[in-house]
Homo-oligomer: A and B are copies of this chain.
Amino acid sequence: MVLIKIDRQSNTPVFQQIIQQIIEFIENVSLKVGDNLPSTRILADRLGVDRTTVYRAYLELTALGYIESSPGSYTRVRKRPPVIRKNQVAAESILHWSDISNPESAELFRHFLHFWPENSPGIPGDLINLSPLDLDERIFPTTEFRRCLNQVLVNIGSKLLKYGEHQGYLPLREDIARRLQVHGISTSAGEILITNGAQHAIDLILSLLGKPGDRVAIESPTYANVIPLMRFHRLKLMEIPMGPDGMDLEYLTRQIRNKPLLFVYTIPNFQNPTGITTHQTHREELLSICEKHHIPLVEDGFEEEMKYYGKVVLPIKSMDKNHVVIYLGTFSKVLFPGVRIGWIAADQECIRRLSAIKRFTDLTGSGVLQAAVSAFLRNGYYDLHLKKMHRTFRKRMSVALKSLQEYMPHNVSWTRPDGGYTIWGTLKKEYSGEQNFKNILLKNGVLVSPGLYYFFSSNQNKYFRISISSLNEEEIRQGMFRLGKAIRELNGQKK
């Protein structure tokens, strides 16, 4: 029998010492397959430790597959299947993932590698990042949300942790329907599907409708993440140029006359990236084009509630008598993205079909997060938070616009959004290459998103998007100062 030694001065608990030494004996074959181990009583006596200590070690060793026991017989060293160790694993797969991936996922992967300049080396420590559309966490109502999580887990309890409804937690769907009514949208819980954020909502719509080779109309520029996603769904992108009041509707009409369209995708409020809000008449006209040609209109209302300047313009969905609008929203841009809750409001038949896709692709969302957000709304925290967001970002946007005025050289123009977080900047002339632009920005301790992220085919290096979503007033002012310096440097380069 092998000898186990217990070191009582060690920081390692006694049962762990027993485990480690027995594993060593087995691995250096001092103990062989089939060898008996002493009973827990005998080993405990011999080591002068409590019997439960030995028992605990044996339990763990059994779980790890080193020993086995059966009623009425000794505990034995068991035959272990050939487990491989890290150093036995080949460095690379014998499969070539790039070859066996389908062409669409391969294209998506190239997009993935191209995005994320933030992760690249050479980022200065005090960078002011005007690039991401991720909210400033210093403003999150985290304490109130934590209160809501506790409230629902105590009051409703464990059943929130089961699989929930595919369509989403009913009380939250009711809450969302009520909020949408404030924006003039006549809907009900049955016409709403809760998704894992707005991006997921778009993916579901594409999964429902998209046939390989179909044409989709998008604004140009548009939300950067939607371009690779639509390509991934094997669709052709029909880019409709953005004018100062939204997409060019004459151009859209001509496109529809040429060939059928699968759907039109639009962001009517503080469009991402341009910040443009379309007028009532533009909205009515776009809707009537879609109605006339029987084309679904996907309205992305991702920042619907973040209007803090000017008069109310109601969503297109509020005029949707004929159920052609598929409306989507999210809590990510007003509350926080970490709850992963967005929604689709559409014709009930459409919602049922989208729910089927949700059901078979990821079963359900998280009931506990959905219930907590519902409590957050019902406790009145949401209304208070929304007012705070309006107050805060009205000020921040005003600082941003004033600082642009102050610091930008004359060859730059920019949009003046009615809400949200993004401003679209335009240079009179193209700058020479995305990488060069980025390098000069980083040298000046600031970053914006290059315009080309937001176009599919066109590739003019004269645009950039500023996002103020994660910065406070002083950071915004400082960021604009640095951006001004960077662009002046870029101008100098050209001469």
Contact = CB atoms under 8 A, between A and B. Distances in A.
A147 B98 CA distance: 44
Interface stretch (A31-39, A351-359, A412-420, A427-435): A351-359
Nearest to A64: B182
A186 B84 contact: yes
Contact of A81 (B94, B314, B320): B314
Contacts of A359: 112
A283 to B, nearest CB: 8
A153 interface: yes
Contact of A93 (B203, B322, B367): B322
A131 interface: no
A336 B162 contact: yes
Nearest to A107: B356
A112 B356 contact: yes
A456 to B, nearest CB: 14
Given A112-B355, A159-B137, A319-B81, A360 B94 contact: no
Contact of A95 (B200, B319, B347): B347
A338 interface: yes
Interface string A476-495: 00000000000000000000
B135 A162 contact: yes
Contacts of A211: 102-103
Contacts of A163: 134, 332, 337-338
A204 to B, nearest CB: 9
Given A313-B81, A366-B369, A323 B94 contact: yes
A232 B311 CA distance: 45
Nearest to A186: B86
Given A84-B186, A84-B319, A146-B149, A162 B337 contact: yes
Given A94-B291, A95-B296, 14 more contacts: A65-B314, A68-B312, A81-B280, A82-B319, A84-B319, A88-B321, A92-B347, A98-B349, A103-B211, A108-B360, A113-B356, A137-B157, A142-B161, A228-B360
6 contacts: A83-B184, A94-B291, A97-B349, A212-B212, A229-B361, A338-B368
